[in-house]
Amino acid sequence: MTMPAGEIAKMNHASQLGLINSLLDSIPDIVFFKDTEGIYLGCNQPFAFFVGKSKDEIIGKTDYDLFNADVAGFFRHFDIEMLKQQQPRHNEEWITFPDGKKMLVDTLKTPYWGEDGALIGILGISRDITARKEAEDKVTESEKRFEQIAEHSRVITWEVNVEGLYTYVSNTIKTVLCYKPEEITGKKHFYDLHPEDGRESFKIAAFEVFARKETFRNLENRVVTKSGKVIYVTTNGIPILDESGKLAGYRGTDSDINDRKLTEIALKQSETRFKSLFDRHNAIMMLIDPVSGTIIDANDAAARFYGYSIDTLCSMNIDEITVSDTKHIEIERLEALHQKQNYFISPHKLSNGEVHIVEVHSSPVDFKEKQILFSIIHDITERKIAEEEIKQKSIELAKLNAEKDKFFSIIAHDMRGPFNGFLELTRIMADDMPDLTKEEILKLAGIMRNSATNLFHLLENLLEWSRLQRGVIPFQPTLFSLIANIVESMPPVVDMALKKGIEIRYEIPEGIKVFADNYMLTSIITNLASNAVKFTRNGGSITFKAKEEADNSVEISVTDTGIGMSPQMLNELFRLDTHTSRRGTNGEPSSGLGLILCKDFIEKHKGKLFVHSEKEVGSTFRFTLPNIEI
**Residue 39 is part of a domain; what is its CATH number?**
3.30.450.20
550: domain CATH number is: 3.30.565.10
Domain count across the chain: 4
Place 451 in a pLDDT band, splitting at 50, 70 and 90: low
**Residue 424 reports pLDDT greater than 90:** no
Residues 297, 222 within the same domain? no
**Residue 9 reports pLDDT greater than 50:** no
Contacts 24+ apart (CB under 8 A), 378-382: 378/283, 378/284, 379/284, 379/305, 380/345, 381/356, 381/357
Tens digits of residue pLDDT in 156-201: 999 999 999 999 999 889 989 999 999 999 999 999 999 999 899 9
Position 404 in a domain = no
pLDDT mean across residues, the chain: 84
CA-closest candidate to residue 37, choices 79, 90, 91, 70: 79
Tens digits of residue pLDDT in 345-354: 889 999 999 9
Residues 164, 118 within the same domain? no
Residues 255, 293 within the same domain? no
Domain boundary among 96, 131, 166: 131
Residues 234, 165 within the same domain? yes
Q: Which amino acid is at 464?
A: E
Residues 479, 619 within the same domain? yes
Place 13 in a pLDDT band, splitting at 50, 70 and 90: very low
328: burial class by Cβ within 10 Å (0-12, 13-18, 19+)? exposed
d(CA 584, CA 574): 18
Position 458 in a domain = no
**Residue 426 reports pLDDT greater than 50:** yes
Place 104 in a pLDDT band, splitting at 50, 70 and 90: confident
CA dihedral 51, 52, 55, 57 (to 10 degrees): -100
Q: Which amino acid is at 527?
A: N
**Residue 332 reports pLDDT greater than 70:** yes
**Residue 483 reports pLDDT greater than 80:** yes
Tens digits of residue pLDDT in 257-304: 998 888 888 878 777 777 777 777 888 889 999 888 899 899 999 999
d(CA 627, CA 251): 105
Residues 488, 581 within the same domain? yes
Report the pLDDT value the prediction gives residue 10, as an integer from 0 to 100: 45
Do the beta carbons of residue 557 and residue 517 sit within 8 Å? no
Position 273 in a domain = no
d(CA 592, CA 603): 17
> How many residues belong to the chain?
630
Please give the residue that has the higher pLDDT: either 412 or 459. Answer: 459
Place 1 in a pLDDT band, splitting at 50, 70 and 90: very low
Residues 546, 616 within the same domain? yes
Residues 249, 286 within the same domain? no
Q: What is the rounded average pLDDT of the residues 46-69?
A: 88
Position 390 in a domain = no
Report the pLDDT value the prediction gives residue 397, as an integer from 0 to 100: 83
**Residue 324 reports pLDDT greater than 60:** yes
**Residue 24 reports pLDDT greater than 50:** yes
**Residue 16 reports pLDDT greater than 70:** no
305 to each of 65, 323, 362, 373, 590, how far by Cα in Å? 101, 16, 18, 19, 59
Q: Which amino acid is at 229?
A: K
**Residue 593 reports pLDDT greater than 80:** no
Residues 217, 323 within the same domain? no
Domain boundary among 353, 379, 405: 379
Distance in Å from the first CA to the final CA of the chain = 166
Tens digits of residue pLDDT in 372-393: 898 899 999 898 888 888 899 8
Residues 299, 225 within the same domain? no
Task: Specify the range with the lowest mean pLDDT, choosing from 213-222, 330-339, 599-608.
Answer: 330-339
Q: What is the rounded average pLDDT of the residues 41-64?
A: 88
Task: Please state the separation of Cα 13 from the chain's center in Å.
Answer: 100
Residue spans of alpha helices (H) in 179-309: 181-184, 199-212, 258-280, 300-306
Report the pLDDT value the prediction gives residue 8, as an integer from 0 to 100: 47
Tens digits of residue pLDDT in 554-575: 999 999 999 999 888 888 887 7
Position 453 in a domain = no
Tens digits of residue pLDDT in 496-513: 899 899 999 999 999 999
Q: 35-49, 53-67, 78-92, 549-563 — which one is most confidently predicted on average?
A: 549-563
Upper half-sphere CA count for residue 118 (Cβ side, 13 Å): 4
Report the pLDDT value the prediction gives residue 450, as an integer from 0 to 100: 64
Tens digits of residue pLDDT in 223-259: 999 999 999 999 999 999 998 999 999 999 999 999 8
Task: Please state the separation of Cα 428 from the chain's center in Å.
Answer: 87
Do the beta carbons of residue 361 and residue 387 sit within 8 Å? no
**Residue 205 reports pLDDT greater than 60:** yes
d(CA 513, CA 296): 66
Residues 126, 258 within the same domain? no
Domain boundary among 379, 414, 435: 379
Task: Specify the range with the lowest mean pLDDT, choosing from 40-49, 271-280, 358-367, 614-623.
Answer: 271-280
Please give the residue that has the higher pLDDT: either 233 or 445. Answer: 233
Position 85 in a domain = yes
Position 244 in a domain = yes
Please give the residue that has the higher pLDDT: either 500 or 17. Answer: 500
Position 392 in a domain = no
Q: Which domain holds residue 232?
A: 153-262
**Residue 519 reports pLDDT greater than 90:** no
Residues 478, 622 within the same domain? yes
